[in-house]
Amino acid sequence: MPIIRRRALPILLALVLAVIALPITAGARPGRRPHPDVRFATFNVSLFRAERGELVADLRAGDEQARTVAEIVQLQRPDVLLVNEFDYDRRGQAVRLFGDRYLGVSQGGRAPIRYPYRTAFRSNTGVASGFDLNNDGVIGTSGRAYGDDAFGFGEFPGQYAFAIYSRYPIATEAIRTFQHFRWADMPGALLPDDPDTPAPADWYSP
């Protein structure tokens, strides 16, 4: 796993962390105190590992990559943070450890940032499809072959997932998922083609 070095911080800040200041004062009624601006950020943190449970173990032991990621977040200080490529575990241990031991602790002299609300999400990555999705004639059962035939590439369920950290309550009951929505059902979906046959858009069997 490559480590993100501190000298790369300016590049990462410019290219990786996208922060948007979104005013939410438009709906304020006259005479009422307006809401503050809310800063949203999305960050591909690449905190994924090769084996299930490995990220939790690394975060417990102390991880330099996670410290560098946390320092960038502490510098930008978004109110709501979406972290991508962050391994999912059903007990939420990785999300809790990263929030408490990295974001909530000063990194490189930056002020800690605390998010009282955080949610980890299941994803399609690493979930076995039971089909030969890469069309190599075999349904993969382990390693990269398994990942190629998963609903989303991943060598175990939850690899490359995502999580949200927020200073404000998350309306979990209103969360919608499109995890089971088939791309083929998307209006105007462009389906992959098998170049070895004359039929169009026939990479997958009917």
pLDDT of residue 1: 41
**Tally of structural domains, the chain:** 1
Question: Mean of the pLDDT values across residues 93-99?
Answer: 98
Q: If you search the block for the tokens 């994803």, which residue do you land on?
A: 123
pLDDT of residue 164: 96
164 bridge partner residues: 82, 119
Of the two residues 122 and 48, the one the predictor is more confident about is 48
Query: Domain range holding 10?
Result: 6-123+158-175
pLDDT of residue 203: 85
Q: If you search the block for the tokens 């972290």, which residue do you land on?
A: 83
Residue 146 lies in a domain: no
CB atoms within 10 A of CB 34: 12
Contact criterion met (CB below 8 Å) for 160 and 152: yes
What pLDDT digit, counting tens, does each position of 145-193 carry? 999 999 999 999 999 999 999 999 999 889 888 888 888 899 999 988 9
Query: pTM of the full predicted structure?
Result: 0.78
pLDDT of residue 204: 78
DSSP H helices, 110-187, are 143-148
Residue 69 lies in a domain: yes
Contact criterion met (CB below 8 Å) for 179 and 166: no
d(CA 55, CA 10) in angstroms, rounded, equals: 26
pLDDT of residue 21: 40
Residue 73 lies in a domain: yes
Mean pLDDT, the chain, as a whole number? 85
Residue 112 lies in a domain: yes
Residue 20 lies in a domain: yes
Residue 105 lies in a domain: yes
